[in-house]
Structure 1
C-alpha cells in the first residue's frame, strides 16, 4: 500500500470517526429514550452499530480494498475525539434548528391538509347526512299522512259502530274495547317515535 493510499485511508477513517460521533448524537436525539432497558432498545442499538460497521467497511473497501491496519482504529478514534472536542456543540445546535424547521414545515403541511382536505370532507359528510335525514323525514311524513288517509274510513266506521252500541247492555264490551284501544294507541305512539328517531 502506497503512502498516498495510506494518507487517504487515514483521512477517510478520521472522517468516519466524525461521522460516527454525529450519528450517535442523532440516534440519541431521536430514538434512544432514557428508560429502563428492554429488548426494543437492544435491537435498535445492535442495528445501529451494525450499520456503522458496514459503512466503515464500505469506505475502507473503496479506499484501500478493505486492508485493515492498526492505524485505522487510531484514525477512527482521533476522528471521534475531534468531533467530541470541536464539533459536538455546534452540530447539536444545528440539529436542533433543523428539527425545529422540519417540525414547522410538517405542521404547516398538516394544517394545509386539514384545511383543504379533511375539513371539506367532513363538511360534505355532514351535508350528506343532513340531506339523507331530511329526505327520510319527509318520506316518513308522507307515508304517515297516507296511512292516516287510508285508515280514515275505518276510523269513521268504528266511531259510527261505537255510537250504535247500547251503553248499559254493552258496557263491559265497551270497556274491553277502550282497553284494547288504549293499548293499540300506546303501541302506535311508540312505533311513531321509533320511526322518527
Structure 2
C-alpha cells in the first residue's frame, strides 16, 4: 500500500470520526428533546453503533479495500477527539435550534390544520345539527296543527261510522289499533289544552 493511499485512508478515518461525533450528538439531543422512553435508549444506542460500524467499514473498503491497520484506529480516535474538543458544543446548539424550529413548524402546521379544517368542519356539524333540530321541531309543529285541523273530521267520522261498526264484529286487533289511535289522539290534544 502506497503512502498516498495510507494518507487518504487516515483522512477518511478522521472524517469518519468527525461524522460519528456529529451523528452521536445529534442523536443524543433529539432523543432528549423528544423525550424517548428509557427502554428505547439501549435499542437506539445499539442501532447507532451498528450504523457507525457499517459506515466505517464502508469507508475503509472504499479507501484501502478493507485492510485494518493501526493508523485506521488512530485516525478514528483523532477524528472523534478533535470533534468533541472543537465542534461538540456548536453541533449541540445547532441541533437544539433546529429542533426548536422543527417544533415551531409542526405546531404551526397543527394549528393551521385545526383552524382551517377541523374548526370549520366542527362548525358545519353544529350548524347541520341545529338545522335538523329546527326542521324536526317545525315538522312536529306543522303536524300538530294538521292534527288539530283534522280533529273535527276525525270525530265526525267516528260518529258517522259508529252505527256501522256496531252491526259488524271487527277483529280484535283492529279494535285494539283504533283504541290505541284514540288514546294517542287524546294525549296529544290534552297536552295542548
TM-score (norm 1): 0.69
Q: Give the 4+ runs in structure 1 shifted more than 6 A.
A: 33-36, 155-158
| CA deviation profile, 1:91-114 (whole Å, cap 9, x unmatched) | 111112222222222222333222
Superposed, which structure 2 residues align to 1:110-125 within 5 Å? 110-125=110-125
Q: The residue matched to 1:68 in structure 2 has which SS?
A: coil
* C-alpha distance in 2 between matches for 1:152 and 1:74: 108
Superposed, which structure 2 residues align to 1:12-27 within 5 Å? 12-27=12-27
Superposed, which structure 2 residues align to 1:9-158 within 5 Å? 9-31=9-31, 38=39, 40-153=40-153
1:37 deviation in Å? 5.6
> Unaligned regions of 5+ residues in structure 2, if any?
159-182
| CA deviation profile, 1:117-143 (whole Å, cap 9, x unmatched) | 222222222222222222222122222
* C-alpha distance in 1 between matches for 2:95 and 2:16: 19
1:147 deviation in Å? 3.1
Q: The residue matched to 2:13 in structure 1 has which SS?
A: helix
* C-alpha distance in 1 between matches for 2:112 and 2:106: 10
Residue in structure 1 matched with residue 7 of structure 2 by the alignment: 7
2:29 and 2:95 in contact (8 A); partners too = no
Residue in structure 2 matched with residue 168 of structure 1 by the alignment: none
Number of aligned residue pairs: give it.
165
1:83 deviation in Å? 1.0
Greater Cα offset, 7-16 or 96-105: 96-105
1:17–1:136 distance in 2 versus 1, CA, 3 Å: same
Q: The residue matched to 2:67 in structure 1 has which SS?
A: coil
1:89–1:138 distance in 2 versus 1, CA, 3 Å: same
TM-score (norm 2): 0.70
Over aligned residue pairs, what C-alpha RMSD do you find?
3.2
2:5 and 2:63 in contact (8 A); partners too = yes
